[in-house]
Amino acid sequence: METILDIGITVVLFFQGLGNWLTTPMEIVTFLGSEEFYLLFLPAIYWSIDAALGIRVGVILLLTTSLNALLKWSFHLPRPYWYDSRVLGMHAETGFGVPSGHSQTPAAILGLIAVSVKRRWASILLITLIGLIGISRLYLGVHFPHDVLLGWFFGWLSLWLFLRYENNIKTWLSKQGLGKQVAAILFTSLAIILVGGLILGTLNGFEIPSEWIENALADQPDGLPDPLNLKSVITPSATLFGLGVGALWLNTRGGYSAKGNWWQRLLRYLVGIVGVLLIWAGLDAVFPEGPSLMAYSLRFLRYALVGIWVSMAGPLLFFKIGLAQPSKN
């Protein structure tokens, strides 16, 4: 493994040697694969562009993000700037490196959008963006080449599995009552957390090498590696639960349509995103952090509320103030 890591360091140093002029462009590109960007991006699709596509993008985003966390724990390998002090870590990253989430997630969600839009120009643009986000992670010193390649692989695998089984799962859910539908989503959400806990249990005796910690803190003093934190799976699984339950409940009340005038679509987004930020940032400011049952439970609540706001509470507000209508109106 050391040989692969050493070869990867050579590649990362090559990209960093291209010059500081690339730092700002690479930071902008890498933002397109961040949690903050998805908090802004997913609601825009669901509320203002295409509600059905928005839910599909949300589901594959949260499932592949969960898978990424499980895989990172399974591989438990370092990031370049943890491993070699010659690499400059330009972003603080506290989790393991393999596979790259910034590569895996865009491959899945942008791939789904490309398949759904069915426009050649869109496919070329989205595939190019997937590639650039991956390259940005090399330049920023936070991923090895094999991290990025495996991220793309698992992202496209997630997309293939999603497309393969999506209709079967939708058909099964449509035959169930709301109670069983909610139970199925809750089971999926909790199963993800349980699997994560089991994998972490196998790492009970694992200690992060002191050299990794020293190198990481040398570049990012506030970025202490904390790769064995269960919040990595609680965040996506809780959001999946909230998003799914909200969408299912709203569907029993006529669903949601993203159609409307341009100003209605814009106002929906502006009004709705305030709610997202209030829940996400507001509760983050008051809820405790750390590896405790209370902190984990409140984190689940926080992200479940984000999902519910996006798929149900936000649309209900839009109906109330005349910015949207149910799809079955």
Domain residue ranges of the chain, discontinuous segments joined by +: 2-320
Q: Which amino acid, 289?
A: E
Whole-number mean pLDDT of the chain?
A: 96
Other Cβ atoms closer than 10 A to 37: 13
* DSSP 8-state assignment for residue 313: I
Q: pLDDT, tens digit, for every residue of 291-314?
A: 899 999 999 999 999 999 999 999
- In the block, tokens 């790769």 appear at 227
C-alpha to C-alpha distance for 72 and 155, rounded to whole angstroms: 14
**pLDDT value of position 118:** 86
Q: pLDDT, tens digit, for every residue of 142-156?
A: 999 999 999 999 999
Record the pTM.
0.95
**Residue 328 pLDDT > 80:** no
Contacting residues for 47 by C-beta, under 8 A, at least 6 apart: 54, 258, 265, 268, 269, 272, 310, 314, 315, 318, 324
The answer to whether 243 and 186 are in contact (CB under 8 A) is no
**Residue 102 pLDDT > 80:** yes
Which of 236, 108, 240 is CA-nearest to residue 184?
Answer: 240
C-alpha to C-alpha distance for 173 and 169, rounded to whole angstroms: 6
**Residue 125 pLDDT > 60:** yes
C-alpha to C-alpha distance for 306 and 39, rounded to whole angstroms: 9
**Residue 250 pLDDT > 90:** yes
What's the whole-number mean pLDDT along residues 19-37?
A: 95
C-alpha to C-alpha distance for 187 and 168, rounded to whole angstroms: 18
Peptide bond into 99 cis (omega under 30): yes
- The confidence band for 265, taking pLDDT boundaries of 50, 70 and 90, is very high
**pLDDT value of position 6:** 96
What's the whole-number mean pLDDT along residues 161-169?
A: 97
- The confidence band for 1, taking pLDDT boundaries of 50, 70 and 90, is confident
- The confidence band for 228, taking pLDDT boundaries of 50, 70 and 90, is very high
CA distance readout (Å), 123 to 31, 41, 55, 165, 234: 20, 18, 20, 22, 32
> In terms of C-beta density within 10 A (0-12 exposed, 13-18 middle, 19 or more buried), how is residue 146 classed?
buried
Percent of the chain with pLDDT over 70: 100
Q: Which amino acid, 139?
A: Y
**pLDDT value of position 329:** 54
